[in-house]
Amino acid sequence: MIDEGLRNELSKQGVVVTGFQDLYNWGRKNSLWPMQFGLACCAIEMIATAMARFDLSRFGSEVFRNSPRQSDLMIVAGTVTKKMAPQVVRLYNQMSEPKYVIAMGACAISGGPFKQGYNVLKGIDRFIPVDVHIPGCPPRPEALLHALITLQEKISKETFTGPGRPRHLDPNAPSEFPIPVCGPDDLTPPSNPEVWRPPTMVRED
Ligand code: SF4
């Protein structure tokens, strides 16, 4: 670790000193490639974020890829029906590591206005790990940009070693997650307990 005072002195002389970990994270956080797919109305906001008025490319996330194998950011934009959930998990499994997920909108994070519907999944985080949740119906493009910046901050703090290292650097952590199947009444299983652990509600009398 370099002394902060020395680092500041050197930077005044035009000498930038940094560690390999910071350089690695800096490069990765500014070159996220989102996958080009959308599920419902939130996808329209996602498309608007990529257009000229908001211009996602200014934030280092320019190239929407058509193949999951060339993508490292999944933006789950819209309502995830139970019929579509297996396909979303399958696409996630096919993405290259390290990979990240932004769940965009009330539907993607909880079922939203369709939460009571028999056919709508109550949050994609039941099956795949979500890094950033965006509330709202629909979230505006500014909210997606904020989520991207939040994800970039998260990536910039990742460490190579130690208990706080990200999933993709843990050899024992899974890179693929089980794909649920459509049963007669619900998805089987209805959630992946390895991914989704709902908080315990304690009722006080
Ligand atoms: S959160 Fe609202 S805008 Fe987004 S997909 Fe659901 S209903 Fe549509």
* Ligand 1 centroid distance, CA of 73 (Å): 20
Residues facing 77 on adjacent strands: 104
* Ligand 1 centroid distance, CA of 19 (Å): 42
Write out the DSSP string of 113-140: GGTT-TTB-S-GGGTS--SEEE-SSSPP
Worst-scoring range by mean pLDDT, 56-60, 64-68, 88-92? 56-60
The whole-number average pLDDT for the span 138-149 is: 96
Residue 123 in contact with ligand 1 by CB distance below 6 A: no
Structure tokens belonging to residue 89: 């998990």
What's the pLDDT score for residue 172?
A: 87
What's the pLDDT score for residue 164?
A: 80
Residue 122 has pLDDT above 90, yes or no: yes
pTM of the model: 0.90
Position in ligand 1 atom list of the atom nearest CA 136: 1
What's the pLDDT score for residue 66?
A: 93
Residue 41 in contact with ligand 1 by CB distance below 6 A: yes
Instruction: For residue 107, give the nearest of 79, 144, 135 by alpha carbon.
Output: 79
Residue 101 has pLDDT above 90, yes or no: yes
Each residue's pLDDT tens digit, 1-13? 678 898 889 989 9
